[in-house]
């Protein structure tokens, strides 16, 4: 009977434990370490800092883009935000690359973080009960948001081959049907890993990388167009990948580890491209979400807040009341304009009169060069 109770309790607690799966975030600085604080010797040894909430992460993104964080940010959150970012308001990248990786637990991340672009990044764990936060930004005229999840139609075997060659691998297409070949990519230990696109999980992982790389190139093209404009808005590139979790569910933990190594190698090349196109004025955020049953839900959601001026709102409200109200406002404005013009005209005429009739003995700016005994 005791064994039965233990079994039942374990079943009840299993979903809760999966729901409380933790996460981690890595802040990758641009060139010359301009925007993110350097870790102390203790942090370097432990490779992490005290956990933070997803609200602090969203506030960090907002500040890096050049906007003020939410007023609801707590004092503890402000302290943690200050421990991440350098306090220089004149050195703001205004460009952020943010990618969430679903189904990547801490053990999987730690296995490869030190041997990738995450090795020198600022790392912190995310509090498990603080998932889901909003990144509130102004309208599209002040910040350009590029989704890295936008699918592309008409993908071909050549697109897969070009991507794999760029990473350093090879692709053998299937002659019977498109996008069903075998991808082979060398690993850091000298071995090679193969992804069979005929399998659903491995196919989704490969397509994740392909969509990500194509959207990054689109973002770089957009950045070049924005530079040609009069005003350059901030840029936020945001996406979420679930391919690691797809590999784990279909092919096991070993395949997921190999996929993580390939993903980090791809991210390293992508971030190098972004640093080159943005001249180092960019910060990358890679968020590893350990949750597996909510892989379709983003941890950080981008929300635009449209702020209208109080005067504009008052005018709109007044105009919507009645046409009489609008006429009254127009009469008052015209009356004030005429009165102001008459006062200015009278003041100008009086000033000219007194200036012309001013005695020479007065020491003024007009007669500064006149000296009388």
CA-CA distance, 155 to 203, in Å (whole number)? Answer: 13
- List 146's β-bridge partners, or say none: 237
Which of 18-27, 146-155, 199-208, 234-243 is predicted with the least confidence, judged by mean pLDDT?
18-27
pLDDT in tens, 164-185: 999 999 999 999 999 999 999 9
CA-CA distance, 53 to 74, in Å (whole number)? Answer: 11
Q: Which two tokens stand for residue 229?
A: 């404009």
Place of tokens 């691998």: 169
The stretch 280-307 carries a mean pLDDT of 79
Q: Note the pLDDT of residue 22.
A: 67
Q: Note the pLDDT of residue 361.
A: 59
Please, which residues have CB within 8 angstroms of residue 174's CB and are 6 or more apart in sequence?
A: 180, 181, 182, 197, 198
pLDDT averaged over every residue in the chain: 81
Residue 313 CA, chain-centre distance (Å), reads 30
Q: Which two tokens stand for residue 55?
A: 């609200």
pLDDT band at 309 (very low <50, low <70, confident <90, very high): very low
pLDDT band at 322 (very low <50, low <70, confident <90, very high): low
pLDDT band at 73 (very low <50, low <70, confident <90, very high): confident
SS (H, E, C) the chain: CHHHHHHHHHHHHHHHHHHCCCEEEEEECCCCCCCECCCCHHHHHHCCEEEECHHHHHHHHHHHCCCCCCCCCCHHHHHHHHHHECCCCCCCCCEEEEEEEECCCHHHHHHHHCCCCCCCCEEEEECHHHCCEEEEECCCCCEEEEECCCCCCCCCHHHHHHHHHHHCCEEECCCCCCCCCEEEEECCCCCEEEEECCCHHHHHHHHHHHHHHHHHHHHHHHHHHHHCCCCCCEEEEEEEECHHHHHHHHHCHHHHHHHHHHHHHHHHHHHHHHHHHCCCCCEEEEEEECCCCCCCCCCEEEEECCCCCHHHHHHHHHHHHCHHHHHHHHHHHHHHHHHHHHHHHHHHHHHHHHHHCCCCCCCCCCCCCCCCC
Q: Which two tokens stand for residue 23?
A: 């996460």
CA-CA distance, 185 to 9, in Å (whole number)? Answer: 43
CB-neighbour burial class of residue 71 (10 A; exposed 0-12, middle 13-18, buried 19+)? exposed
Ramachandran angles phi, psi of 53, nearest 5°: -85, 165
- List 26's β-bridge partners, or say none: 123, 286
Q: Note the pLDDT of residue 38.
A: 78
CA-CA distance, 160 to 306, in Å (whole number)? Answer: 40
pLDDT band at 9 (very low <50, low <70, confident <90, very high): very low
- Of 12-16, 128-132, 365-369, give the range with the top mean pLDDT: 128-132
């Amino acid at each position: 009977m005791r064994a039965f109770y233990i079994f039942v309790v374990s079943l009840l607690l299993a979903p809760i434990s999966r729901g409380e799966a933790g996460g981690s975030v890595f802040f990758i600085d641009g060139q010359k370490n301009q925007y993110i604080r350097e870790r102390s010797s203790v942090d370097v040894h432990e490779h992490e800092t005290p956990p933070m909430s997803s609200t602090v992460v969203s506030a960090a993104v907002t500040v890096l883009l050049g906007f003020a964080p939410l007023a609801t940010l707590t004092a503890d959150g402000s302290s943690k935000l200050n421990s991440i970012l350098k306090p220089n308001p004149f050195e703001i990248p205004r460009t952020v690359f943010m990618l969430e990786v679903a189904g990547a637990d801490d053990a999987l991340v730690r296995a490869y973080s030190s041997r990738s672009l995450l090795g020198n990044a600022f790392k912190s764990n995310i509090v498990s009960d603080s998932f889901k936060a909003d990144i509130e930004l102004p309208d599209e005229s002040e910040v350009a948001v590029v989704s890295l999840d936008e699918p592309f139609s008409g993908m071909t075997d050549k697109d897969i081959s070009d991507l794999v060659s760029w990473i350093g691998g090879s692709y053998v297409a299937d002659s019977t049907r498109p996008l069903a070949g075998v991808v082979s990519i060398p690993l850091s230990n000298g071995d090679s890993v193969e992804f069979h696109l005929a399998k659903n999980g491995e196919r989704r992982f490969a397509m994740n990388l392909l969509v990500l790389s194509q959207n990054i190139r689109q973002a770089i093209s957009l950045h070049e167009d924005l530079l040609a404009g009069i005003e350059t808005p901030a840029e936020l590139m945001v996406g979420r990948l679930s391919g690691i979790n797809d590999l784990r569910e279909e092919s096991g933990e070993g395949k997921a580890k190999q996929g993580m190594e390939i993903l980090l190698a791809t991210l390293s090349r992508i971030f190098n491209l972004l640093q080159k196109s943005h001249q180092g004025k960019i910060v990358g955020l890679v968020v590893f979400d350990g949750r597996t049953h909510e892989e379709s839900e983003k941890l950080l959601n981008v929300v635009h807040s449209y702020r209208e001026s109080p005067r504009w709102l008052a005018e709109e409200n007044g105009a919507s009341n009645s046409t009489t109200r609008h006429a009254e406002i127009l009469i008052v404005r015209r009356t004030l304009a005429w009165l102001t013009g008459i006062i200015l005209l009278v003041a100008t005429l009086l000033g000219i009169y007194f200036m012309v009739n001013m005695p020479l003995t007065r020491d003024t700016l007009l007669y500064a060069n006149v000296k009388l005994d």
